[in-house]
């Protein structure tokens, strides 16, 4: 499967989750109704037995007590019970999903007691932590995703890891201390690649929804515990009032409390059924995902022994993959391997058996597990890497206006020849860059490793720092020409404090020229630090970015791309599951293709030909319309809108966009950055374009 097929599969799994959730809720409604109806029958019998004539009259007429048959088959009671269960279970699920969605992967990592690794000062970390950060950064740059924060669960000796978040923008990687110390670099690469597969293929969103569904289902059991405690405490307090009550009413009170306690126990039993249903749902939804992620990790690294040996060490370790944290059961389906024991064995397991997973990636396995060594040699990684719906729009940041007077596309420095630092990239064998969206290869990992080694250390450290990242963003926007840079600096230096200005000067001295190939990787490294700022700081930085962008009187393609990526870092888009057809978003689709045609081709005839070639690739007949003229602001709006497309239509649009750009048989570095921005707008991370690789096949 390619990336977009994975997205479709994830959406179908979400549909299966909804179906299983409905079945579980219906079962809970039936069981709860039976418990309440039987309790009312018992209470009715008590009332008749005492001669009070005051039995329950629910659903009866004329003030007479309802008969047991009427109570057992009572539509009004069933309606009330159904509404109550749906409100409780559905509301609890939605609340939990909303809380986890707003907190992102960070909330899950902190729930598990994770410690955030300090990217800014790697010298404070141990060698194992440095190696882990190196591997994660390589994988992120190779796959074209933001670099996720990394958390270590220091108190966990078991060998395990997880990826959490609602979208790639808020994803985190969590690793146990046992895994970090037990794995060599290839094994760690395999496990991290497995977790990146979950990030890329939409599995994290499903995992968050699964947590919410289970939370809602178990609320019935919690309600039963509340009823039981209520009956117990009322019995204790009632004993002090019995001397003021007659014998009959005291007996009735005791019987009533007994019924409440019995109902509480029954609800706890129903809650237990809910827990059982939750485990079945997790097992049904999660197991196949692990096979797919293992296969993706092998494709990613081309090192089947890496992930196979990692699984063998889990099987041979004293602690296995066990996680002792009390919340481990709640997120058990997110882990690399089974973090908790299943009391019904494999029937309830969230992960396939280890031997089956190992055999799939290493068919020649002899059945022997590996005993983790006490300490893996990580010295080679000290300083770097070594190897063994409706329109979706990005909410604006309050107080941050759009760039005033954005020029139209024809006003940009036109064509490949007019763009500074352009490097022609065309032809090439093998799979095209578009075909590798969401499916990076070992070549991309090696490329990312080499690129990180090539980027000056001062720039990399600036990207990782909470304070220095601001200076880096500004430095990336400085014009390469001496005269233009002097004009920018003269206008800009009054807008920033002396500390930021000093940091900028040091970065320029360390690297007078920023290679165009470094810019997007540096931004990907910087995104975790950018997102840590509060709203006031974000508004200040966006205002400063606008000053730099407009200082030379024009907005270059890269300046627009950088501003867009910074804004998306501050206010990530709502990553829903696209469901709209391309014909429903014909206008923004045409605007995207028209803008790309005007940027990449200087002559009007070439622009029309490129635009037409893109429309043909869409394989969908859009309503008639000529090639639109767009400003960069209108292109922003169009990119926000197309995020709502269905996965299959996103695939076609990205292919069409790449066809438009490469119609002249050459692709420049800024054009690649634009295509990657278009792909990113649709939640489809594109790996770096390799030298000599075709953009589209």
Catalytic residue numbers read 195
- Beta carbons of 304 and 362 less than 8 angstroms apart: yes
Find the DSSP H helices in 465-515: 468-476, 482-492, 498-510
**CA–CA dist 337, 291 (Å, integer):** 11
Helix pair 669-681, 557-570: axis angle to 10 deg: 30
Q: Scan for tokens 């190779």, then name that residue.
A: 142
29 closest CA partner among 92, 94, 87: 87
Q: Which of 578, 440, 434 is nearest to 7 (CA)?
A: 578
Q: Which of 185, 187, 188, 160 is nearest to 174 (CA)?
A: 160
Q: Residue 514 CB: number of other CB atoms within 10 A?
A: 21
Q: Taking phi first (over 0 means left), then psi (-120 to 50 degrees means alpha), and beta for anything else, what does residue 113 get?
A: left
Rg (CA), the chain: 30
Answer whether 630's CB lies under 8 Å from 591's CB: yes
Do 59 and 36 form a contact (C-beta atoms < 8 A)? no
Residue 185 and residue 183: Cα distance in Å, rounded?
6
Between CA 143 and CA 136 the distance in angstroms is 11
Match 């977009």 to its residue by tokens.
4
Query: Do residues 471 and 465 make contact, with C-beta atoms less than 8 angstroms apart?
Result: no
3-state SS class at 460: helix
151: part of which helix (H) or strand (E)? strand 150-153
Distance CA 84, CA 80 (A): 6
How crowded is the C-beta side of 669, counted as CA atoms within 13 Å?
A: 14
**Token duo for residue 473:** 């963003």
Displacement of CA 19 from its chain's centroid (Å): 23
Using the structure block, give the residue that is written with the tokens 């060998």: 159
Retrieve residue 15's tokens: 């549909």
* Residue 30, C-beta contacts closer than 8 angstroms, at least 6 positions apart: none
Given strand 161-164, what is the order of strands in its sheet?
115-116, 150-153, 172-176, 161-164
Residue with tokens 């089947």: 304
C-alpha to C-alpha distance for 58 and 5, rounded to whole angstroms? 53
* Cβ–Cβ under 8 Å, residues 40 and 58: yes
Let me know how long the chain is.
Answer: 697
Q: Are 89 and 28 in contact (CB under 8 A)?
A: yes
> Which CA distances in Å does 649 have to 365, 575, 607, 609, 618?
41, 16, 23, 22, 8
Sign of CA dihedral 60, 65, 69, 71: positive
Separation between Cα atoms, residue 628 and residue 123, nearest integer Å: 53
Q: Give the span between the Cα atoms of 42 and 188, in whole angstroms.
A: 61
Burial of 468 (0-12, 13-18, 19+ CB in 10 A): buried
């Amino acid at each position: 499967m390619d990336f977009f097929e994975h997205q479709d599969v994830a959406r179908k799994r979400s549909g299966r989750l909804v179906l299983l959730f409905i079945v579980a809720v219906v079962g809970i409604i039936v069981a709860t109704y039976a418990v309440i109806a039987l309790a009312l029958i018992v209470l009715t019998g008590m009332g008749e037995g005492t001669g009070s004539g005051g039995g329950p009259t629910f659903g009866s007429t004329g003030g007479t007590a309802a008969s047991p048959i009427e109570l057992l088959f009572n539509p009004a009671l069933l309606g009330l019970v159904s509404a109550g269960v749906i409100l409780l279970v559905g509301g609890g699920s939605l609340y939990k999903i909303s809380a986890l969605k707003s907190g992102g992967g960070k909330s899950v990592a902190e729930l598990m007691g994770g410690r955030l690794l300090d990217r800014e000062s790697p010298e404070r970390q141990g060698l194992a932590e440095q190696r882990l950060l190196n591997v994660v950064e390589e994988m992120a740059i190779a796959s074209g995703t933001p670099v996720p924060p990394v958390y270590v669960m220091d108190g966990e000796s078991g060998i395990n890891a997880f990826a959490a978040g609602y979208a790639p923008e808020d994803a985190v990687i969590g690793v146990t201390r046992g895994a970090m110390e037990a794995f060599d670099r290839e094994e760690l690469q395999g496990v991290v690649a497995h977790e990146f597969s979950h990030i890329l293929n939409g599995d994290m969103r499903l995992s968050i929804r699964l947590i919410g569904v289970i939370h809602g289902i178990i609320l019935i059991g919690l309600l039963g515990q509340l009823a039981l405690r209520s009956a117990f405490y009322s019995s204790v307090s009632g004993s002090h009032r019995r001397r003021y009550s007659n014998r009959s009413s005291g007996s009735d009170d005791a019987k009533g409390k007994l019924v409440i306690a019995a109902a509480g126990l029954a609800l706890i039993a129903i809650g237990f059924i809910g827990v059982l249903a939750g485990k079945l749902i997790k097992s049904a939804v999660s197991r196949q995902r692990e096979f797919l992620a293992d296969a993706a990790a092998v494709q990613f690294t081309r090192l089947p022994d890496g992930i196979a040996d990692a699984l063998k060490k889990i099987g041979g370790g004293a602690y296995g993959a066990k996680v002792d944290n009390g919340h481990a059961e709640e997120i058990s389906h997110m882990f690399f391997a089974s973090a908790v024991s299943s009391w019904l064995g494999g029937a309830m397991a969230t992960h396939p058996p280890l031997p089956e997973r190992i055999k799939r990636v290493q068919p020649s396995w002899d059945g022997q597990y590996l005993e983790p060594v006490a300490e893996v040699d990580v010295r080679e990684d000290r300083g770097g890497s070594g190897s063994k719906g409706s329109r979706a729009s990005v909410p604006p940041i309050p107080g941050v206006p759009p760039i005033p007077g954005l020029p139209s596309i024809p006003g940009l420095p036109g064509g490949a020849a007019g763009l500074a630092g352009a490097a022609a990239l065309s032809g090439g064998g093998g799979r095209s860059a578009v075909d590798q969206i969401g499916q990076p290869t070992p070549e991309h990992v090696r490329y990312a490793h080499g690129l990180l080694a090539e980027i000056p250390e001062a720039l990399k450290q600036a990207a990782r720092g909470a304070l220095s990242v601001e200076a880096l963003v500004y430095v990336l926007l400085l014009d390469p020409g001496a005269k233009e840079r002097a004009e920018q600096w003269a206008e800009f230096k009054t807008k920033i404090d002396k500390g930021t200005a000093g940091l900028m000067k040091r970065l320029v001295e360390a690297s007078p020229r920023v290679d165009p190939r470094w810019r997007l990787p540096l931004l990907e490294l910087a995104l975790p630090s950018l997102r840590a700022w509060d709203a006031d700081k974000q508004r200040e930085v966006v205002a400063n970015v606008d000053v730099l962008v407009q200082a030379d009187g024009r907005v270059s393609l890269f300046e627009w791309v950088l501003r867009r990526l910074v804004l998306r870092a501050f206010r990530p888009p709502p990553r829903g599951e696209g469901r709209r057809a391309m014909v429903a978003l014909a206008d923004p689709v045409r605007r995207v293709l028209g803008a790309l045609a005007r940027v990449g081709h200087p002559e009007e005839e070439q622009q029309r030909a490129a635009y037409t070639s893109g429309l043909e690739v869409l394989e969908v007949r859009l309503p008639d319309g000529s090639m639109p003229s767009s400003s960069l602001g209108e292109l922003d709006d169009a990119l926000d809108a197309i995020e709502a497309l269905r996965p299959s239509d996103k695939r076609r649009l990205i292919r069409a966009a790449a066809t438009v750009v490469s119609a002249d048989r050459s692709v420049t570095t800024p054009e690649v950055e634009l295509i990657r921005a278009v792909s990113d707008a649709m939640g489809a991370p594109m790996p770096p374009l390799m030298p000599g690789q075709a953009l589209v096949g």
